Structure 1
Amino acid sequence: MHAIRLHAFGPAGNLRHEEVPDPVPGPGQIRVAVEAAGVHLLDTALREGLRGPLPEPPRLPTVPGREVAGVVESLGEGVAELWLGRRVVAHLGFAPGGYAELAVVDVDRAHEIPANLDAAQAVAMIGTGRTVMGIGQFAGLGPDSVAVIPAAAGGIGTLLVQYAKNAGAVVVGLAGGPEKVARVQANGSDVAADYTDPAWPDKVRADLDGLLRPAGGTPSATVVLDGVGGEVARHATGLLGPGGRHLVFGWSAEGIRGGEPYLVDGVSEQVLGPVMLREAGGPEPLQTLELRALAEAAAGRLRPAVQRFPLADAAAAHRALETRATTGKVVLEP
């Protein structure tokens, strides 16, 4: 099979499209003919040799990627025959191997793909979607919420806008550049602003004033759902009214270094992570969130945006992510 391999930590150009031996499923595992593999910003940090949330950096050489979808074409010992030929999606956890034509998955991590989703959409929901479900349930959004969402044209941001609108919230979506702002507006955001314009906070305040004051509302935000950090988030928290919350689930603008995020004075801030899993409940909280995300997509309530790259162009996909030149969830297709 062909796969993307990393032999040395460093820039995106170190990702090589190579022919490698087919993986063999062990006991309790399935082998999937991959139709879509998810690319995450964390992958770019791991490529550089940073461990992020992992116990240690990947061992080289490695095939990156931890989200896959496709058709089960081989079974390991002890796996029921009914899995053969199924369309499945799975998050591989800490195990890499997704950027490939074939991937081995523990069968207890696999979910059947709803009939109305393609493989790329399913991959978007298994990682990005489960994160959105965790953020959304913790944020407790409702008709009285005014949610500010930085990077609203990204994979998580696109789904968060939809989740918040479904909950009845007023949504302020932030994105970089006119094209992305147009996408945010088309996705249903009540207010959309270009954070590359230095005057964007004043524009948002004026838009909220015109939107909320006539209805008797207070023209300020109640929550910032922040996966970006940096100056954008600092200005976003300035839109919060009394009692506002700053919920942090990432800080991509300041890099992924495994450290603590910046702090914003005078704002109730909570860094989401394990707390989202406790809220999910069930014996396997991650799988609980994954199933909820897939169900929301199958029902049409959440519609993931996907940007597709050929598997051989994994390096280009990484560069695009690192330079914020992507919209939606990035996937590789063999």
Structure 2
Amino acid sequence: MRAIRLHAFGPAENLDYETADDPVPGPGQVRIAVAAAGVHLLDTALRQGAQGPFGAPAELPTIPGREVAGIVESLGEGTDPTWLGKRVVAHLGMNPGGYAELAVTDADRLHEIPGSLDEAEAVAMIGTGRTALGVLQYTDLGPDDIAIVTAAAGGIGTLIVQYAKNAGATVIGLAGGPDKTARVLAGGADLAVDYKQPDWPDAVRKHLGDRRATVVYDSVGGDAGRAAVHLLGKGGRHIVFGWSSQGILSDSPLTFTEAELLERGITSQGVLGPAMLEKAGGLRALETRSLGEAAAGRLRPAVQRYALADAADAHRALETRGTVGKVVLIP
């Protein structure tokens, strides 16, 4: 098969498109003919040898990637034979191997792709979609809400904008540059502002008049996140699920002192981690719901496709904030 392999930690140029041995499914596993493989910002840090949340750096050489969709074309011993030939999507968990024409995973990780959802969209929903829904379960949005979404042109941000609009909320999206703000508006936001412009909070205040935001969904942190929080009214909520302005593996989310929160009459809550999964009923429950929302047309992921051979370009684009939505490799 053809695959992307990493032989040495370092820059994106170290991602080599080459021939590799076909993986062999073990007991209880399947082999998938990959039609789409997801790329995560975390992949760019792991490519450089960072430990991140997955423990020690990967053993080299390795095939990166942990999200795949395609058709089950081979079964390991004892695997349910009804999986053979089905269109499926899976998050590979701790095991890499997604940037390839073939990938192996445990059958209990599989979801059959519902309806007319295509493989690239399914890959977006199995990872990015489940996270978006996990974040959104902490708020009960309605027509009285005014939601500010940082990184609104990203994979998660795009879905939060859609969900909030479906709930009847007023939605303000933050994105970097005119191309991205145009996409955020096209995606349903009532207002999209360029957070690279220093006066962007004034544009939000002018749009809202005497109203104030009720919730900020923040995956950016830093100056943009803090400025967004300053737009919250009394009783507003700051929902934190990332701090990309500090670097993908930073452990420095945007925080406020108790005195600051009391003075403003707001709350700030980090929502990633085991508590999110417990609240949702487990990881698989989030994945199932995410795929169902997309299949029903209530959520539509934004997908930016690259050829598998161009994985290095995809990594560079992610690292320079040059992507929109979920990045997916197509073998």
TM over 0.5: yes
- The equivalent of 1:143 in structure 2 is 143
- The equivalent of 1:84 in structure 2 is 84
- The equivalent of 1:328 in structure 2 is 325
- The equivalent of 2:132 in structure 1 is 132
| Deviation by residue 1:247-280 (Cα, 9 ceiling, x = unmatched) | 1111111102252413234242211122211210
Q: After superposition, where does 1:284-295 map in structure 2 within 5 Å?
A: 285-295=282-292
| Deviation by residue 1:66-96 (Cα, 9 ceiling, x = unmatched) | 0000000000011121111000000011110
- Distance in 2 (alpha carbons) for counterparts of 1:301 and 1:25: 35
Equivalent position amino acid for 2:198 in 1: P
- Distance in 2 (alpha carbons) for counterparts of 1:104 and 1:272: 31
- The equivalent of 1:222 in structure 2 is 214
- Distance in 2 (alpha carbons) for counterparts of 1:92 and 1:17: 21
Question: Which of the residues 281, 300, 305 maps onto 1:303?
Answer: 300
- The equivalent of 2:111 in structure 1 is 111
- Distance in 2 (alpha carbons) for counterparts of 1:224 and 1:95: 33
**What runs of 5+ residues in structure 2 fail to find an aligned partner?**
262-266
Query: Cα RMSD between the aligned structures?
Result: 1.1
Displacement of 1:203 after TM fit?
Answer: 0.4
Q: After superposition, where does 1:193-232 map in structure 2 within 5 Å?
A: 193-209=193-209, 213=210, 219-232=211-224
Question: Which of the residues 237, 241, 259 maps onto 1:245?
Answer: 237
- Distance in 2 (alpha carbons) for counterparts of 1:76 and 1:33: 14
Contact 2:65–2:96, Cα closer than 8 Å, also in 1: yes
Please give the secondary structure, in 2, of the residue aligned with 1:138: coil
- Distance in 2 (alpha carbons) for counterparts of 1:278 and 1:142: 24
Contact 1:51–1:258, Cα closer than 8 Å, also in 2: no
| Deviation by residue 1:253-312 (Cα, 9 ceiling, x = unmatched) | 11022524132342422111222112102xxx1110000010000000001110000001
Equivalent position amino acid for 1:58 in 2: A
- Distance in 1 (alpha carbons) for counterparts of 2:181 and 2:64: 31
- Distance in 1 (alpha carbons) for counterparts of 2:241 and 2:40: 14
Please give the secondary structure, in 2, of the residue aligned with 1:165: helix
- Distance in 1 (alpha carbons) for counterparts of 2:156 and 2:140: 17
Contact 2:226–2:254, Cα closer than 8 Å, also in 1: no
Equivalent position amino acid for 1:287 in 2: R
| Deviation by residue 1:105-159 (Cα, 9 ceiling, x = unmatched) | 1100000001211100000000000001101111222222211101111111111
- Distance in 1 (alpha carbons) for counterparts of 2:269 and 2:204: 24
Does residue 64 of the first structure (1) align with residue 56 of the second (2)?
A: no
Please give the secondary structure, in 1, of the residue aligned with 2:103: strand
Equivalent position amino acid for 2:116 in 1: N
Contact 1:234–1:264, Cα closer than 8 Å, also in 2: no
- The equivalent of 1:269 in structure 2 is 268
Normalised TM-score (structure 1): 0.94
Please give the secondary structure, in 2, of the residue aligned with 1:205: helix
Query: Which range moved further: 14-23 or 55-64?
Result: 55-64
Please give the secondary structure, in 1, of the residue aligned with 2:53: coil
Moved over 3 A (4+): none
Please give the secondary structure, in 2, of the residue aligned with 1:139: coil
- Distance in 2 (alpha carbons) for counterparts of 1:46 and 1:262: 23
Equivalent position amino acid for 2:244 in 1: S
- Distance in 2 (alpha carbons) for counterparts of 1:230 and 1:47: 25
Please give the secondary structure, in 2, of the residue aligned with 1:179: helix
Please give the secondary structure, in 2, of the residue aligned with 1:291: helix
Contact 1:52–1:258, Cα closer than 8 Å, also in 2: no
- The equivalent of 2:313 in structure 1 is 316
**What runs of 5+ residues in structure 1 fail to find an aligned partner?**
214-218
- Distance in 2 (alpha carbons) for counterparts of 1:141 and 1:50: 37
Normalised TM-score (structure 2): 0.95
| Deviation by residue 1:215-258 (Cα, 9 ceiling, x = unmatched) | xxxx1111111111221111111111112221111111110225
Equivalent position amino acid for 1:237 in 2: V
Please give the secondary structure, in 2, of the residue aligned with 1:104: strand
Count of matched residue positions in the alignment of Structure 1 and Structure 2: 323
- The equivalent of 2:264 in structure 1 is none
Displacement of 1:195 after TM fit?
Answer: 0.9
- The equivalent of 2:19 in structure 1 is 19
